[in-house]
Structure 1
Amino acid sequence: MGKRKRSSATASVQPTNTLLPQKRHYRQRAHANPFSDHALSYPAAPDQLDWSAHYPAFAGTGKTPEFADVGCGFGGLLIALAPLFPDKLMLGMEIRVQVTQYVRDRIIALRATSATENSSPDTPRPYQNVSVVRANSMKFTPNYFLKASLSALFFLFPDPHFKARKHKARIISPTLLAEYAYVLRPGGIVYTITDVRDLHEWMKSHLEAFPLFEPVSEEDLRTEGKGPIVDAVYSSTEEGKKVERNKGDKWLACFRRIEVPRI
């Protein structure tokens, strides 16, 4: 018998979104040691950063990032929120080389393929408001953000560091919370979510104990119009989608940066 010929339908199938990067080309370990020397390049101070290189469509506006996704992974949250808040600059911070490069390439591809027919000279094309840096957030967060410049900080499915001796590497700790409170403006929100109950209790208890944060319920956030952000926190990341596929639990805890009255 002769070989079966491929059907015309099969032969004519062409890959779509060929400009978008594929994760399989950016293989890397799931986590990186934040205490290792990663030979990172970082600014000495936030005012030494040229944000126009990250957000060329906003050059000359004086805008700086307002949302920061710490340990942004493959950028799911950033990509979900960018079209919802086109006037707010968003920055992902990721320590892994290949993962950072994937997010960077993904943003470049989305900027190139997401032009809209209805865009005007006064409206930046989609995804111009999002960028990523390779950075160790446990060491260099204040090097990137001015005091009280952020309105949202995201810690989504961070490394749980299960062993007790590794708890010092958790992204939420009293020392680090002082830095987060410094860069977060009064009224700004810290969003945390995890599928590890112990880590949820850890983050929640440390934020509750810190004097510059107060808990805010999911219901209150939705009433304030932050429902789209909450929805993205739950389901936009690769980790969040994996938990859903496995029918696991997710624990959300959000806190507001309080304003300290002047004496």
Structure 2
Amino acid sequence: MSSARLPRKRFYRARAHSNPLSDSHFPVPICPSEVDYSSHYPHFFPTPKPKVRFADVGCGFGGMLVSLSPLFPDTLMIGMELRDKVTEYVKDRIEGLRATNPGQYNNISVVRTNSMKYIPNYFEKGQLSKMFFLFPDPHFKEKNHRRRVVSVQLLDEYAYVMEVGGIIYTVTDVEELGDWMKSCLEKHPLFEAVGEEEIKKDPVVKLLTSATEEGQKVARNEGQTFMAIYRRVTSKED
């Protein structure tokens, strides 16, 4: 793959973290039917109208999306990123990959948004089959724990947009945050832990620590990672 037409990160300077509770200025769809996905995935339109099935929440520089794309070429995936410059980089990266690899990477895209506030604005009930939370901001201070992207309260919304049987993947190199995310998922009645045998057979799992820039950095430093992988289960309302 030629890198001649791909963007370079140094031209997309961005803060390492953003406050997800602050008000940002970007368009927000009123409801999922108002999202124009034809601009994101022109190869898959106009009919029949496909639906996004994977969401990488806080996608960073898009490494997971790029790695997943060839594994699931007919599945639409979207990255959700709050930082404007990072979103711009991922958008340009995808466009560059499409240009240098005709017929590939048509199934991935990115949107700038605050997933902690607007997940239901983008996805219908039971729409997603996979959600990813890879190396999220740990927000170490206790007063900032409400900024964490995985919480018991937010899992209500994630459960709403996930299909029964859908998988939520989390990974971090911060043990305390790993315990936090696992505890939140364990407490929630609509999620149950995926068994070890199934995890071993899941081709997605090995990408959790190798596809992203953060994961690669942890590997270089011989750091430890902490995963929590849970399945959306049924309820009386489903």
Cα separation, 1, equivalents of 2:37 and 2:235: 30
Question: Which stretches in structure 2 are left out of the alignment for 5+ residues?
Answer: none
Name the residue aligned to 1:150. Answer: 128
Cα separation, 2, equivalents of 1:37 and 1:218: 40
Shift of 1:221: 2.9
1:26/1:262 CA distance change after superposition, 3 Å = closer
TM-score by length of 2: 0.96
Report the AA paired with residue 151 of structure 1.
S
Name the residue aligned to 2:36. Answer: 50
Backbone CA RMSD of aligned residues: 1.2
Cα separation, 2, equivalents of 1:218 and 1:22: 38
Cα separation, 2, equivalents of 1:176 and 1:262: 18
Q: 1:185-221 deviations in whole A, cap 9, x for unaligned?
A: 0000000000000000000001100000001134313
Is the CA contact 1:42–1:143 (under 8 Å) kept in the aligned structure 2? yes
Cα separation, 2, equivalents of 1:82 and 1:262: 33
Cα separation, 2, equivalents of 1:137 and 1:110: 25
Cα separation, 1, equivalents of 2:9 and 2:136: 20
Cα separation, 2, equivalents of 1:217 and 1:29: 37
Give the total of aligned pairs: 236
Name the residue aligned to 1:35. Answer: 21
Is the CA contact 1:218–1:230 (under 8 Å) kept in the aligned structure 2? no
Superposed, 1:68-107 pairs within 5 Å as 68-107=55-94
More deviation, 236-245/31-40 = 31-40
Question: Which stretches in structure 1 are left out of the alignment for 5+ residues?
Answer: 1-15, 116-124
Report the AA paired with residue 114 of structure 2.
N
Of 211, 215, 221, the residue aligned with 1:240 is 215
Name the residue aligned to 2:225. Answer: 250
Cα separation, 1, equivalents of 2:76 and 2:172: 25
Name the residue aligned to 1:208. Answer: 186
Larger Rg: 1
TM-score by length of 1: 0.87
